[in-house]
Amino acid sequence: MNNAFKKLLELGQSIQTVESIERVLFWDQETMMPKNGITIKTMQKSAIASIIHQKKTSQELEKTLKSLIDFKTNTFVTHDLDEDQKRCTQLMRDDFLKAKKLPDDFIQKLAVLSSEATHVWIEARKENDFKRFLPYLEQIIDLMKQKSDLIGFEDHPYDAHIDDYEPGMTTRKLTALFTPLKKDLIQLTKDYQTIPIEDSCLYGEFDESLQMQLCKALLIDFGLNPDNHRLDESAHPFCMPVHRLDLRLTTHLNPSCFYQCISSSIHECGHALYEQGHHPDFFGLPIGQYASMGIHESQSKFYETMIGQSHAFWKGFYPKILQAFPDQMQKVSLDSFYRAINKVSPSLIRIYADEVTYSLHIILRFEIEKAFMDGSLKARELPEYWKTKMQEYLGIIPHNDSEGCLQDIHWASALFGYFPTYALGNLYAAELFNAIQKSFPDLDKRLENGDYHFLKDWLGKHVHEHGRRYTPERLIERATGQKVTASTFIAYLKKKYEALKTL
């Protein structure tokens, strides 16, 4: 191996190792930490964050990169790198230059403001007091506009933010994907919310330790190595990948609805399988890292909805539910249960939205962020704008801002550009599902038999092991043979719900 590249690998591994410590701290805070641990935790997190920033912008990294690639011309100054090494060098150069564009005082200012804003947002949401949050939102939007200028953009100031989470994606491309998606989803919501579905069968009393047992077994059935992960409980489920061999998942146990815990465990399992599937030879390098947040979300959505809300999966898995909860579920048929978990019903809260309406919640947030960035929407106009659009897209209006524009933490945390990746995840997942259906004509039979490993193997080969080798769009195109469109997702929904109607 080229000596300079060997040095680059060492530096990359050192950065990723410190980042893994940051992830353990986050996991500990959400699961195990006693309440008063927050004081030292805040200091730990800020200390680690500054070490990571120093490492990512160090002179040593710059010098090493420059001995491999010319920063100005983006051409290689050494001739003994293979294609993967070239790709890694190029991406690390891009990451380095991007990190350098944000001065330390800007990073500090943003960290302080988003921490204060999050604190105020929690209170404002609790008290339904948008006015209290407004000055912070205004300052955050100002800083986000500054960030656009510091990073630079060709077409739209929002592009600089989207690129943070979805490399290569732009406001223009997202608008082209989301415009037909929105039109079709508004129509499908109207069509399918009238399907008469009784979902009271999902509610009752369900022993929490039995729920946990079911979830733990399912994660292993889907292909997570028992020695690579653990599942705990937290208020909001998440998957924190410390390393591909150390995956921390959580689920939320609801004693009156076991389905929530199963569904969130399957979602987080999709994220964990992606991380577990990263190529072991590329730890510390971009090819050993996830391609984008949209691709990450496509893995969780694929498992949660396309598999975990399918009739074939439940035909195989339902007997285990009947065995665990015979008193509560024996009178509920498989078909009734399947219909209940797939009920389409417009709701105010994004995180509880069903498969058909979910992306409309995201498109609303995408349009708002875009308008904030180009100045066509002012922060103070947000509550009214929100209500108007909710009526237009979902036919419902929130009674207050806590159930409306104050519901998500993202803007308080300055996570602009993140929301679109949730809807992209659905579109990517539908493309992958379509390709898997073609490769495995016996897909349903396999799911009915509890055979799931072939899914992990296929996704591993086509998505997981490539990391950032390709852009997200190219990755999907290579895996499926076609470009991402909204129509594949819409066709998937139509096929599923037309069949559900006649069950």
Task: Write out the residues near Zn ion by the rule CB under 5 A.
Answer: 300
- Min CB(368)–Zn ion separation in Å: 21
Structure tokens at 433: 């599902």
Distance CA 343, CA 386 (A): 24
Sign of the Cα torsion 423, 311, 434, 303 reads: positive
Angle between helix 130-151 and helix 104-127 axes, rounded to 10 deg: 160
Catalytic choice (166, 268, 369, 431):
268
- Min CB(155)–Zn ion separation in Å: 28
- Min CB(77)–Zn ion separation in Å: 40
Nearer to Zn ion among residue 295 and residue 405 (C-beta): 295
- Min CB(259)–Zn ion separation in Å: 17
Nearer to Zn ion among residue 87 and residue 267 (C-beta): 267
**Strand 229-233 relative to strand 239-243, pairing:** unpaired
Q: Name the phi and psi angles at 76, rounded to 5.
A: -80, 140
Residue 59 amino acid letter: Q
Give the Cα-Cα-Cα angle 140, 145, 148 (nearest 5 degrees).
130
Q: Which residues contact 129 (CB under 8 A, 6 or more apart)?
A: 123, 401
Nearer to Zn ion among residue 5 and residue 358 (C-beta): 358
- Min CB(296)–Zn ion separation in Å: 7
Residue 27 amino acid letter: W
Strand partners, 247: 229, 241
Nearer to Zn ion among residue 170 and residue 300 (C-beta): 300
- Min CB(237)–Zn ion separation in Å: 9
Residue 246 amino acid letter: D
Q: Other C-beta atoms within 10 Å of 502: how many?
A: 5
DSSP string, 351-363: GG--TTTHHHHHH
Contacts of 432-441 with C-beta under 8 Å, sequence gap 24+, read: 432/298, 432/302, 432/459, 432/462, 432/463, 432/476, 432/479, 432/480, 433/302, 433/306, 433/492, 434/480, 434/488, 434/492, 435/462, 435/479, 435/480, 435/481
Nearer to Zn ion among residue 300 and residue 342 (C-beta): 300
- Min CB(236)–Zn ion separation in Å: 11
Nearer to Zn ion among residue 267 and residue 343 (C-beta): 267
Question: How far does Cα 18 stand from its chain's mean position?
Answer: 22
Catalytic annotation on 208? no
Nearer to Zn ion among residue 88 and residue 427 (C-beta): 427
Nearer to Zn ion among residue 189 and residue 300 (C-beta): 300
- Min CB(270)–Zn ion separation in Å: 8
Distance CA 364, CA 370 (A): 10
SS3 content of the chain, % helix, strand, coil (to 5): 70, 5, 30
Taking CB atoms, the residue at the shortest distance from Zn ion is: 300
The residues that are catalytic are: 268
